[in-house]
Structure 1
């Protein structure tokens, strides 16, 4: 079954997503056009570096699109509650709907979300049970792309050989502001911010295992597998799939 697209009607969120897309377009088209491709054409860098840059860029925008349009875990109006789990459900005081514990009501979206972490304006969506893994991917690939851009900017001025097909004085005059300042500044901001956010998210996920009793203790790989919906570690990095809850996580959910 194909995943249904989910959109939040919030002009401020659209503006934030537009800013993120603008930074992505800047680093995906301007930097390769001025640095990556010219040096590849003159044989200064291998084709693998060009391929890796565009793969990282594609995975970054794919994770952004999926995290922004995936249903974070909105609860149905009349959910089916198994009799054995009714003690783990509660009534929301804002929307008057039954919800499992650790669900929260998002005032921006107007819905209760299962395992809601927070509402992120930069993806214009809540981060909940069904798209938390996509948000982690977005943080990770943004770090990779930002670091890649910073390395290219540094190498352009301190490591790469001069381009014989360009007038170096004219190139520096026209593009120094775009390359060295704007690109490096956006790379530093994005890398620093996403690194801090990614560390906070991973710490929150992995700390759940330490809060469980010894009887129900699970390793960190199991906690990440539950968030990502698969035990295949390679699939943790692939945004082009759908998430399926782990069958073994049913009993653990009542303890977190």
Structure 2
């Protein structure tokens, strides 16, 4: 933090921060509106057939149709995304903590996790159908299998990024392993944890969608497969938009949580 920032009253600093956030939000909204405008103008002046690229108005008009069951399909997909992501976060962080406490466990299990992560998740789809049948569960497992590994890797790295002098200080004070973890390792690892969480949020959306393409009877991905046969491009685009909004909501929650628990200067973009 600069000397100028230190001289500012807390109220002025907070007001400036809020103003910066509002400007950033305004830019984000403006860019998205510009994208919609370009989309509309392209459909209008290039005379693109509807079955290739419907206009924004035609796409959003599908929300008024009950045949697509937008609400129920969106809720199913959201449950798969958030369920797989939550499971990946819990397992990834828990394993990273175990690895930081046991180098032997890292040597034994980390290569196995690397190998398993290299398996194409699409290839596991038929196996998941055999093991878990159709429904939400196999899609949650696929989302978990895709988003879990980045969270594990970044958290392991963060827990290892500890200053040797701090370790020596805690040991000289006869601090326990739990005190070392709670006071030193965990606070220092949080920026890395949230970096992995951001990547995992993106991958969880992809995992749930892939799962619905392979083994599902409900959800936005399943709906896209159904309307593809009739070239209902407007419904397919609307499903993509809703999938994106669910992913943006998850990513936004991660950013909000990071803002609450991590010091701004320590965040990793």
Band of TM-score, shorter chain? under 0.3
Structure with higher Rg: it is 2
Which structure is higher in strand share?
1
TM-score by length of 1: 0.25
When normalised by structure 2's length, the TM-score is 0.24
